[in-house]
């Protein structure tokens, strides 16, 4: 027998979108063969990886304050004669890697989102004391080819990145600069990964991409064909995908919503604004009207589909009338969920140079009004489920003894009394109560002894 490798510990913290969550899991997969086990806290970690987000100014600033805290731990560890390596990954790493090394010298290396397969080499070099390590190439094919295909057992649900990058260049957004051009993974590799996940007990997969519905299928047929292929995998009960751009919602994908039962009736389709003047300034490539017609077509294919969206208030030049148009669009669509943000000026993006900035107080006020409306819609959507039943995929134990938690097709969290053996199973649950962010339910068929 060979001696086990010395156990090392890595603490990985994810900020930002689900693609970062996926990437963090893959980084853990890359590090496992080097003897790194996951640690719940940075205090005892030999390696700390911050997987960062650059989307808004606040997200970026968070990283620097977290680095300050981790640096203090690194110092204490050094005083005890122990070495801790600090790595910054993700979109801030890509956007301002050199700046990070300058502002926080305790950082050992910086690694952009498409260079995670280089982690072992970067760690080895950091141990040798090589300074100024920065890996930030745009090589998504190398990343996906080089990451290990076997994935550690996850749980009932999993993310699977199928597409990366963005060619849309919305004028407010950093993603085209941090993640590079649109790249689609080969469909065979995706199917193989989905099968591995499903064999490991995963019942629901969310396909990820910054523009997931722009997925270029090497076998033809776009994202719709990929979804149909994955739907044939035994044991895979539910498929979702996020995030989509209205411009890439093609007929085949809309048709799939009506025809593929594993495809969940919940679509995240960001619109950002309801004002055509602002949409043009944002370079969104759609109008409020074309978005509404698109939703009509999706609803014709799948009448019970629910929508969620992303909204930005206070984009440069946004007047009260533009904001009112956004509220009007929200009333017309009626969203089951949404994310909304104050416009954040990102240096280097076209909007950063635009005149007539909206002042902060005005942005705050608009955000409050927008969120109040969205919150009403969400509450009404949840309340409408009470007295009905919903198929719930159970994911984990709840906080209370004997309680389990799952999700409805609409991603609503459902709490229910039930045995652990239901975890990983779908059961029709009678919904008895709704709060703004979860539902309570009861099993209709009680187990007989
Ligand atoms: N690719 C996705 C979204 C990526 S970013 C899409 O096109 O929808 C997620 C959300 O962050 C965006 O939808 C947008 O609402 C918000 N966002 C992006 N840049 C922003 C900025 N500079 N200020 C405020 N919100 C922003
Ligand atoms: Fe950003 Fe627009 Fe691309 Fe979405 S589509 S990632 S908002 S540039
Ligand atoms: Fe943030 Fe990068 Fe995702 S900027 S939202 S982590 S793509």
- Give average pLDDT by consecutive 10-residue segment, the chain, 449 residues: 71 96 94 93 96 96 95 95 95 94 93 93 86 72 75 83 96 96 96 95 97 96 98 98 97 98 98 98 98 98 98 98 98 98 97 94 98 97 97 96 97 96 97 93 70
Of 113, 122, 50, the residue nearest 86 (C-alpha):
50
Query: Where a domain ends, among 333, 365, 383?
Result: 383
Alpha carbon distance 408, 391 (integer Å): 6
Please enumerate in sequence order all residues whose Cβ is within 8 A of that of 361, keeping only pairs 6 or more positions apart, or say none. none
- Which residue in 1, 5, 49 sits closest to 27, CA to CA? 49
- Other CB atoms within a 10 A radius of the CB of residue 148 amount to 12
| Ligand minimally distant from the alpha carbon of residue 94 | 3
- Residue 147 sits in a domain of what CATH number? 3.80.30.20
53, 113, 175, 344, best to mutate for ligand 2 pocket (most atoms within 8 Å of CB): 175
- Whether 449 is covered by a domain: the verdict is no
Residue 49, domain member (yes or no): yes
Task: Judge contact between 304 and 348, C-beta under 8 A.
Answer: no
Question: Could you tell me if residue 126 is inside a domain?
Answer: yes
Residues 6 or more apart whose CB falls under 8 angstroms from that of 363 comprise: 313, 314, 342, 343
Q: Rounded to whole angstroms, how far apart are CA atoms 19 and 442?
A: 34
Quick one: how far is CA 111 from the chain centroid? 19
Q: Measure 90 CA to ligand 3 centroid, in angstroms.
A: 8
* pLDDT score recorded for residue 449: 42
- Amino acid 143: pLDDT: 80
Neighbours of 77 (CB within 10 A): 17
Nearest to 407 by CA among 437, 378, 386: 437
Query: Do 378 and 402 fall into the same domain?
Result: no
**What would you report as the CA-atom Rg of the chain, rounded to the nearest whole angstrom?**
23
pTM for the full predicted model = 0.94
Beta strands in 343-421 (DSSP E): 389-397, 403-407, 413-417
Residues touching ligand 2 (Cβ under 6 Å) are: 166, 168-170, 173, 175-176, 210-211, 245
The alpha carbon of 55 and the centre of ligand 1 are apart by a number of angstroms equal to: 7
Q: How far is CA 233 from the centre of its chain?
A: 23
Direct distance between the N- and C-terminal alpha carbons of the chain, in angstroms, rounded to an integer? 47
Q: What pLDDT is stored for residue 422 in this prediction? A: 97
Residue 135 pLDDT: 77
Strands across the sheet containing 306-313: 266-268, 306-313, 337-342
Mutate to test the pocket of ligand 2, among 176, 215, 270 (most ligand atoms within 8 A of CB): 176
What distance in angstroms lies between residue 53's CA and the mean position of ligand 3's atoms? Answer: 5
**Proximal ligand: closest to the CA of 17:** 3
Specify whether 376 is located in the same domain as 415. no
Within-domain flag for 283 = yes
Q: Note whether 120 and 150 are same-domain residues.
A: no
Domain span at residue 415?
Answer: 389-443
Q: In the structure encoding, which two tokens stand for residue 302, read together?
A: 């799948």
Q: Do 131 and 98 share a domain, yes or no? A: yes
């Amino acid at each position: 027998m060979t001696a086990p490798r010395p156990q090392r510990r890595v603490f990985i913290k994810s900020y930002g979108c689900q693609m970062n969550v996926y990437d963090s899991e893959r980084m853990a997969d890359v590090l496992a063969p080097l003897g790194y086990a996951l640690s719940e806290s940075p205090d005892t970690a030999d390696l700390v990886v911050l997987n960062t987000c650059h989307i808004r100014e606040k997200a970026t600033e968070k990283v620097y304050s977290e680095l300050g805290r981790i640096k203090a731990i690194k110092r204490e560890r050094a005083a005890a004669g122990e070495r801790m390596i600090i790595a910054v990954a993700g979109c801030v790493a890509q956007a301002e890697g050199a700046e990070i090394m300058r502002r926080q010298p305790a950082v050992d290396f910086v690694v952009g989102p498409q260079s995670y397969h280089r982690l072992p080499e970067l760690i080895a070099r950091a141990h040798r004391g090589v300074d100024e390590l920065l890996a930030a190439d745009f090589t998504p094919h190398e990343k996906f080819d080089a990451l290990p295909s076997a994935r550690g057992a996850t749980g009932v649900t999993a993310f699977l990145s199928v597409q990366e990058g963005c060619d849309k260049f919305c004028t407010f957004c950093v993603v085209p600069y941090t993640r590079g051009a649109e790249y689609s993974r080969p469909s065979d590799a995706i199917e193989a990964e989905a099968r591995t996940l499903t064999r490991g007990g995963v019942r629901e997969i969310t396909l990820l991409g910054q523009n997931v519905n722009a997925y270029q299928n090497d076998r033809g047929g776009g994202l719709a064909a990929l979804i149909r292929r994955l739907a044939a995998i035994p044991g895979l009960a539910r498929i979702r995908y996020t995030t989509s751009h209205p411009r890439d919602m093609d007929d085949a994908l809309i048709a799939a919503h009506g025809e593929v039962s594993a495809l969940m009736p919940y679509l995240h389709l960001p619109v950002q604004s309801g004002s055509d003047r602002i949409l043009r300034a944002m370079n969104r490539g759609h109008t409020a009207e074309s978005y509404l017609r698109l939703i009509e077509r999706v609803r014709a294919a799948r009448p019970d589909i629910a929508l969620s969206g992303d909204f930005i208030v206070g984009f440069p030049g946004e007047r009260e009338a533009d904001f009112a148009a956004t509220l009007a669009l929200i009333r017309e669509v009626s969203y089951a969920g949404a994310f909304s943000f104050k416009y954040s000026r990102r240096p280097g993006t076209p909007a950063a140079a635009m005149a007539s900035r909206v002042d902060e107080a005005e942005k705050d006020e608009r955000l409050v009004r927008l969120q109040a409306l969205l919150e009403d819609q969400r509450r009404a959507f949840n309340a409408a489920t009470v007295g009905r039943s919903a198929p719930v995929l159970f994911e984990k134990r709840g906080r209370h003894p004997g309680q389990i938690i799952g999700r409805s097709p609409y991603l609503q969290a459902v709490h229910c009394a039930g045995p652990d053996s239901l975890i990983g199973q779908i059961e029709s649950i009678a919904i008895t109560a709704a709060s703004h962010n979860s539902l309570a339910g009861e099993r209709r068929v009680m187990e007989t002894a």
